[in-house]
Amino acid sequence: MSPAQPVGDPLPGTGELPPQVAAPAPDGNERPFSVYLHVPYCRVRCGYCDFNTYTNLSMGRGVSAEDFVGTLAGELRATRRAMDAAGLPVRRAQTVFVGGGTPTMLPASDLVRMLDLVRECFGLASDAEVTTEANPDSVDEADLAVLARGGFTRVSFGMQSAVPHVLKVLERTHEPARVPRVVEWARRTGLSTSLDLIYGAPGESLEDWQRSLDAVAQIGPDHVSAYALVIEEGTRMWGQVRRGELPMPEDDDEATKYEMADAALGRAGYEWYEISNWARPGAQCRHNRAYWLDWDWWGTGPGAHSHLGDVRLWNTKHPVAWAGQIAAGRLPVAGHEVIDAGSRELERIMLGIRLREGIALASLADGPSANSADGTGATPPHLVPVMAGLVADGLLDAGAAMRGRAVLTLRGRLMADTVTRALTQ
């Protein structure tokens, strides 16, 4: 099963976008724009996965894998009409991310067609970053060449681990030896490469994790993401833990593995730019940063989420119901909410503190100095003792604090929620 959708309101009237989608950024500027495309198909649903994915590729007309791009075209064109009706200007997509599921369950030519639809409906910036996720065993060199010729610039491979018994627990289907091959194929086509890792799997020792980190350093992708395993309620792995078949991941073990990752990746020439992400110079994922920096984005596909102005929206989850709404000429938006100013500010701090550059302390003040995003303004008086305490506890960098910015230390990255609460009290 996958998680329940948020509780929200249906779109007003006949399905038009609410006026708050046109709200400007707090500084009055137009937000950059990104596009997310959700492909819900997977060969195998991993036991830890709680994403909106399905192993049935033949769910009926309009939603089977061979019909998917045609149905997606209907949603994207309906979206463009709705944006026009709401008075939103046409903004070229600065980044496009195709996620899932496993997008490469579809032919590479279908993914290129999806990108062409983004060009048709929104336009694409000349220097746009265009990424697809892929499993190592779901593409070959010919597929990657098709993607590169079609305008993709980047591919993110789900490596997860280099250790066979860990991959087995995670129910991943590829062999470890496949990963360096697909990265090399991607390089030959000119695609930038990223590897996704998961740490904290049941039965994964510190030696296992170090083996995975050593493998990444040897492969040498441009970008690495490393996420602690979270066992979500309702997943198959959650059931295994409840029945005592697998142990629950331990916080101390995952904290140690995070520190190991930061050390190993640092030695290999990677620099952290967000708590769970490291990159070589110039290889940061711009689409990831779009989420953390409060850009606008539109999500297309079953269950995809969108964020325009002061509005969050989310699509109908089940592919059959999603396709039926599109066939009826409607946007497949299941619900939306208008975000109030307090919630937006909390999110800005919560997301911004995750980044290497942190947040400007002056931006936490009320009044004119709150717009000093470059950190040149004074620290708000109420935060002076708070900052002193966070620096003394080793959670914030002392030098950055002197320059008017809140920047997490390594220890602070492990306790980012604590820092957020302190800064927002």
Looking at the fold, whether 51 and 156 belong to one and the same domain comes out as yes
* Tens-place pLDDT, residues 393-414: 999 999 999 999 999 999 999 9
Of 273, 293, 313, which marks where a domain is finished? 293
371, part of any domain: yes
Is 55 a domain residue? yes
> CA 243 from chain center: how many Å?
31
Q: What is the pLDDT of residue 377?
A: 61
Mean pLDDT of 79-95: 94
Q: How confident is the model at residue 4 (pLDDT cuts 50, 70, 90)?
A: low
What's the distance, CA 381 to chain centroid? 35
Domain co-membership, 87 together with 183 = yes
Enter the DSSP assignment of 52.
Answer: S
Grade residue 367 by pLDDT with cuts at 50, 70 and 90.
Answer: very low
Place 62 in a pLDDT band, splitting at 50, 70 and 90.
confident
User: Please, which pLDDT band fits residue 57 given cuts at 50, 70 and 90?
Assistant: confident
**Per-residue pLDDT, 67:** 96
Residues 286, 396 within the same domain:
no
Q: Is 369 part of a structural domain of the chain?
A: yes
232 and 363 share one domain: no
**pLDDT value of position 371:** 45
Helix (H) and strand (E) counts in the chain? 15, 14
Under DSSP, the state recorded for 277 is E
Residue 137 in domain:
yes
The span from the CA of 43 to the CA of 68, in Å, is 16
93 is a domain residue = yes
Does residue 416 sit in the same domain as residue 288?
no
Q: Which residues, including other chains, have CB under 8 Å from residue 355's CB and lie 6 or more apart? A: 273, 274, 289, 292, 293
H helical segments located in 243-356: 251-267, 286-292, 319-327, 341-352
What number is the average pLDDT over the span 63-82? 95
Same domain, 74 and 150: yes
Do 190 and 66 lie in one domain? The reply is yes
- Could you tell me the two tokens for 276? 């769970």
pLDDT at 418 over 90: yes
| DSSP 8-state symbol, 330 | -
384 in a domain, yes or no? yes
Please check whether residue 201 lies inside any domain of the structure.
yes
Confidence grade of residue 311 (pLDDT, cut at 50, 70, 90): very high
Q: What is the pLDDT at residue 327? A: 95
Tokens of 391: 């620096």
CATH number at residue 266: 3.20.20.70
Q: Is the pLDDT of residue 220 over 90?
A: yes
User: What 8-state DSSP symbol labels residue 397?
Assistant: -
Are residues 253 and 146 located together in one domain of the fold? yes
Query: Which of 293, 309, 328 marks a domain boundary?
Result: 293
Backbone angles phi, psi at 99, to 5 degrees: -125, -175
The total of structural domains in the chain comes to 2
Among 265, 293, 321, give the residue marking a domain's end: 293
Strand, helix or coil at 364?
helix
In the predicted structure, residue 300 carries a pLDDT above the cut 60? yes
How is 151-193 classified by DSSP, letter by letter? Answer: T--EEEEEEE-S-HHHHHHHT--S-TTHHHHHHHHHHHHT-EE
Let me know whether 274 and 374 are in one domain: no
The range of the structural domain enclosing residue 377 comes to 359-424
* Average pLDDT score, the chain: 93
- Position 83 in a domain: yes
Q: Is the pLDDT of residue 176 over 80?
A: yes
> What is the distance between the alpha carbons of residues 12 and 298, in angstroms, rounded to a whole number?
18
Task: For 237-282, write each residue's pLDDT tens digit.
Answer: 999 999 999 999 999 999 999 999 999 999 999 999 999 999 999 9
Q: What pLDDT is stored for residue 8 in this prediction? A: 80
Whole-model pTM? 0.93
- 194 & 84 share domain: yes
pLDDT at residue 370 greater than cutoff 50: no
Q: Angle at CA 150, nearest 5°, toward 144 and 154?
A: 55
**Average confidence (pLDDT) over 58-80:** 94
My answer on whether 89 and 229 are in the same domain is yes
- Which of the 8 DSSP states describes residue 54? B
Q: How far apart, in Å, do the first and last CA atoms of the chain sit?
A: 37
Cα separation, 236 vs 243, in Å, equals 11
Both 398 and 268 in one domain: the answer is no
